[in-house]
Amino acid sequence: MSEEHSSERQSGFCSATCSDRASLRKEIGKKEVKTSDVFVTCNLPKRFEHPHWFNGYGCQLSKQHPFYRTSASEYGWFPPGYHSVPSVFFPAGQTFTNRLSAAGMYRNYSLNTGMDPAGYR
C-alpha cells in the first residue's frame, strides 16, 4: 500500500476494503445481507436479523493507544457478525415480572427484637 493511501485511512474503519473513498462508496452501495439470507432462522428480532446495525465497538471508535489495551478488551473489540448472532430466538415470558409489578415487592413487617450493635466509643 502506498503512503498516499495510508494517509487517507481514517480511524473507525475495521476492514481494509474501506481504505480509500472509492472502495468506501462501493461498500456503501452493496445490498445489506441479513442473517436469514445466510442461515435458516426462527423468530429472530431485527437486531439479530441485521447484525451490521450494531455500533459502538472498539474497532469502530476506539481512540485508546494499543499499548494500553488489555486482553479482556479483545472480546468486545469487533461487532457481532452473521456467524456470531443466534439463529433462533425464544424470548422469556413476562408473567412473573407482570405479577410482581402488580402486587409489589415483598416487605418483612415482623418485629425486630435484636439488640442494636454497639457503636464506636
pLDDT, one tens digit per residue, over 58-117 is: 676 667 777 877 887 777 777 787 788 888 888 888 998 898 888 888 888 888 888 888
5 within some domain: no
Task: Give domain status of residue 120, yes or no.
Answer: no
Q: In total, how many domains does the chain have?
A: 1
Which whole-number Å values give the CA distances from 37 to 30, 34, 49, in the listed order?
Answer: 14, 5, 9
Q: What angle do CA 40, 58, 19 make, to 5 degrees?
A: 85
- The burial class, CB within 10 Å (0-12 / 13-18 / 19+), for 65 is exposed
The answer to the question of residue 83 being in a domain is yes
Domain that holds residue 40: 21-90
Could you report the per-residue pLDDT of 4-35, keeping only the tens digit for each? 444 444 444 455 445 677 877 777 777 778 88
46 within domain boundaries = yes
Examine residue 36 and state whether it is found in any structural domain, yes or no.
yes
107 belongs to a structural domain: no
The mean predicted confidence, pLDDT, of the chain is: 75
Residue 66 located in a structural domain? yes
- Identify which of 83, 50, 76, 48 has the alpha carbon closest to the alpha carbon of residue 61: 76
Q: What is the pTM of this model?
A: 0.42
Beta bridge partners of 88: 42
Place of cell 405479577: 99
Residue 117 resides in a domain: no
